[in-house]
A and B are shown apart, each in its own frame.
Chain A
Amino acid sequence: MQNMRENLTATKDTKILSLDHVGLYYSRRQGFLKRSRFWALQDVSFDLHSGETLGVIGKNGVGKSTLLRVLAGIIAPNTGKVEVHRPGLRFSLISLGAGFVPFLSGRENATLSGMMLGATKKEILSRMDDIVAFAELNGFFDEPVNTYSTGMRARLGFSVAYHLDPDVILLDEVLGVGDEAFRYKSTAAMKERIKSEKTVVLVSHNVPLLREICDRVVWIEDGKTAAQGKVSEILDAYLKGIVHGAKQAT
Chain B
Amino acid sequence: MRFNDTYCLRQGKWRNLTDLVIQKAIAGLRAEASRGYLGVLWWIIEPVMYMSVFYVAFAHLLNRGDENFVIFLLTGLIVWKWFHATLNTGANSLMANAGLMNQVYIPKIVFPLTNIAVNTFKFMIIFVLFLFFLQFTAVRVTWVWTLLPVLVLTQLLLIVAVTTLIGSIMPFFPDLRVILDNVLMMFLFLSGIFYDIDKLPTNVQGYLMLNPMAALIVMYRKILLEGLPPDWMQVFGILSLSVAIMILAVWILRRFDRIYPKIVF
Contact = CB atoms under 8 A, between A and B. Distances in A.
9 contacts: A73-B9, A73-B258, A76-B1, A84-B9, A108-B30, A112-B23, A112-B24, A116-B100, A118-B10
A76 B34 CA distance: 38
A226 interface: no
Nearest to B106: A116
Interface in B1-44: 1-4, 6-7, 9-10, 16, 19-20, 23-24, 27-28, 30-31, 34-35
B19 A116 contact: no
Interface of B: 1-4, 6-7, 9-10, 16, 19-20, 23-24, 27-28, 30-31, 34-35, 100-106, 257-259, 261-263
Given A82-B4, A89-B9, A111 B258 contact: no
A121 B9 contact: no
A206 B106 CA distance: 30
B20 A76 contact: no
Interface of A: 24, 26-27, 69, 72-79, 81-84, 87-91, 93, 95, 98-99, 101-104, 108, 111-112, 115-118, 120-121, 144
B255 to A, nearest CB: 11
A69 B104 CA distance: 8
B103 A81 contact: no
Given A78-B2, A91-B9, A103 B103 contact: no
Given A115-B19, A116-B100, A77 B2 contact: yes
A90 B105 CA distance: 11
Contacts of A118: 10, 16, 104-105
Contact of B102 (A74, A82, A89): A74
